[in-house]
Structure 1
């Protein structure tokens, strides 16, 4: 049964937007709390060989996004039939339960299976995007979706700082239980604060995936934006599984490794929070496509010197600058998507985009783990820079023609 509101009063989309942003932020924090010490937890579960540790860290990190990519279109279609709020509740509560079980894992295979289950039960962010996209006035949808997307991104980048501090203070396993509490808070906020008036769509009336794309004015552009999302996540994820080990290589076996790694992983989130609103307003004036391409080029210019740093401080400064540029990337893609789709198919379009994002989240860490295992940590940054440069050229060629925008 769809979650509906009995009151006939109009939906307060501004309130829903704020609560959805908080939910996306908390979900992003919860997912990334474990990132600074994920290789250390894998090591604690019995994987001690350095090369195996690199590969297992990449696999464990990636499998969540692999299963999320598979499940996301299913959840998107179900949301179009049953409602978006109930999908948000399912996702938050399901992930909270899985996090508790992760903290109780006793083998690497149990942990791997639970990371896969976490991916299957995900989907909070794309369903939040679909909920807001169908409620916000069309002329403000670009700003709303751009602002909403900063919630998950900022949470994912700030979470490692909190996770590293908690791991150093309480140990590794308690962080999973704290993460579960954060997700349960997200569940409660969604249950009591988000309102949705939803008219169920019969399964027989649902458009087939092929018809969804044929209903778009510029399907090739939308597909190109999916690919851009994938490449952005490849570039972001390639560094994630090796960052803690790279910091240890730079600083030595320091006592507060998890905290230092978490801080370096998190500084891009601080930069993104500062830069994203300003770059979003600039994108409204000059076009999000120009912001997207310009920030991709800036990212290339920052990734290359990361391969040459000699201290964690140098790495942290460059990652702060990278975060200022990267904070505009996914919001720009989200804005371009909402410019080019209708509300009737927004749910599935955002779920498809989430699948591409998850595929990038799978490919990136695996690529980073393989490259680091064969050519060392520094090579990861060079390969990532080359991929981002390709994305910049590809996006520029795709978006050269004027992008359709909603009326002001």
Structure 2
């Protein structure tokens, strides 16, 4: 099982290296196409693949559940390769944009990787840790790719780089073909000793209700995080920090903290969540609000502290989301669940990008951090209220089932897969 998990993670890192690295260099690529477009349109192209991935998420989720999660993962890797090849062969802006659309519409390796892992890992706690690791591989690619591509682009034509990069998803495809094939959901037949039919709708309704709230939390988290990204450099420059290497270090610091702590967060989470299943997630949003507010203090020391706390908040939020999702997941619907979970992250990022762009056009560089803090607090309050209302409702419906409901919600609970999975 360990070999399978790390094979999937390697494939995801390879694909993410290509997908997350090149958008940063769009301002270098566009002039080679003879395109004279302003910075606003360059920003639109930056988020275009993300937007297309979010739009296509529902379709590919249904595809994964119907035809198999490994097949969907292969589709995502092939889609990335095709999109990069089209961009590499582009000799005009229209063809390049078409390549970006293909990359986004037929890509989506994060959701596909998570969905495939859920078909192979039956223990909820282990699945939650694996979801943390797929996010870790994305963060690692986010740090390594700009450095590696920045060096290589100084030696080659940017469009040729797209052609080289299209090979990476094909390598990932080759590795994925060696992994076990999962059964599509509609081939998982009912067994005679399975859960009583009358209890299934109630259990599934409770689980889906919890997951819908996690989608909301994912959107709030993605928005609060991404809205601070686009104009971080000019924001810190107004505090007198002008060294670009130092600015880059401060920008990457939260991602570095995530890489350091993501593998250890379950130790803290097990203690925090012993009596309250959502404490790690609540702590994450609280720290996110505090760190965003700390950015507004005109002090380099406060800024460093804010970036470190921001990274810890990312660790807590991702772990809380992943563990809660894994513990309430209906494996027969994993394609739909993970595609929509990833789509909410994409929609949050797109909304944050538009908000940050509009706010920066007004010259209000501090406002994105204030907005991040406000959205984090709103999301935290909504999650606390939701849990209290859910707990009260569960008790009123049947006091004897409150403990079992709590176990279902607890992210640290190890659930045995039922016979229908």
Q: Same fold (TM over 0.5)?
A: yes
Give the drift of 1:221: 2.0
Deviation sequence 1:161-204 (CA, Å, 0-9, x none): 44444445656445434432332332222223x2224256279x
Give me the TM-score of the superposition, normalised by structure 1: 0.79
Q: Give the structure 1 partner of residue 269 of structure 2.
A: 283
Tell me the distance in 1 between the aligned counterparts of 2:242 and 2:209: 50
Q: Shift of the alpha carbon at 1:241?
A: 3.5
Q: Any conservation in 2 of the 1:64–1:115 contact (CA below 8 Å)?
A: yes
Q: Are 1:372 and 2:321 counterparts? A: no
The match for 1:115 is: 100
Shift of 1:224: 0.9
Alpha-carbon RMSD across the aligned residues, in angstroms, is 3.6
**Conserved? CA contact 2:77–2:170, under 8 Å:** yes
Q: Distance in 2 between matches of 1:380 and 1:136?
A: 39
From 360, 363, 369, the equivalent of 1:381 is 369
> What is the CA-CA distance between 1:307 and the residue it aligns to?
4.7
Aligned partners of 1:167 and 1:309: how far apart in 2?
A: 36
Give the Cα separation in 2 of the matches to 1:20 and 1:143.
Answer: 14
Q: Structure 2: which 5+ residue stretches go unaligned?
A: 191-199, 392-405, 416-421
Contact 1:36 1:265 in 2 (8 A): no
Structure with the greater alpha carbon radius of gyration: 2
For residues 172 and 321 of structure 2, the distance between their equivalents in structure 1, rounded to whole angstroms, comes to 25
1:158 and 1:270 in contact (8 A); partners too: no
Structure 1 residue 135 corresponds to structure 2 residue 124: no
Correspondence 1:301 to 2:290: yes
Indicate which of 174, 182, 201 corresponds to 1:188. Answer: 174
Residues 1:199 and 1:344: Cα distance change in structure 2 (over 3 Å): closer
CA distance in 1, matches of 2:239, 2:22: 21
Question: How many residue pairs get matched?
Answer: 382
SS where residue 264 of structure 2 aligns? helix
2:201, 2:96 → 1: CA distance? Answer: 37
Q: TM-score of the superposition, structure 2-length normalised?
A: 0.77
Unpaired runs of 5+ in structure 1? 1-12, 206-210
Aligned to 2:210: 221
2:312 to 324, 332, 354: 324
Work out whether residues 327 and 410 of structure 2, in 8 Å CA contact, stay in contact via their aligned partners in 1: yes
Aligned to 1:272: 258
Measure the CA separation in 2 of the matches of 1:226 and 1:200: 22
* Aligned equivalent of 2:419: none
Verify the 8 A CA contact 2:51 2:104 in the aligned structure 1.
Answer: yes
Q: Measure, in 1, the Cα distance between the counterparts of 2:236 and 2:174.
A: 37
Contact preservation (8 Å) 1:276, 1:327: yes
Matched residues in 2 for 1:101 and 1:162: separation? 22
Name the CA shift for 1:325/1:137 in 2 (closer, same or farther; >3 Å).
same
Deviates more, 1:160-169 or 1:263-272: 160-169
3-state DSSP of counterpart to 2:329: coil
Separation (CA, whole Å) in 2 of partners of 1:315 and 1:168: 32
Q: Decide whether the 8 Å contact of 1:42 with 1:56 is kept in 2.
A: no
Q: 1:352 aligns with which of 337, 340, 344?
A: 340
Determine helix, strand or coil for the equivalent of 1:216: helix
| CA distance in 1 between partners of 2:163 and 2:329 (Å) | 39
Question: Is residue 2:188 matched to residue 1:236?
Answer: no
Alignment of 1:95-114 (within 5 A): 95-105=80-90, 108-114=93-99
Secondary structure of the 2:343 match is: helix
Q: Mean Cα displacement is larger for which, 136-145 or 349-358?
A: 136-145
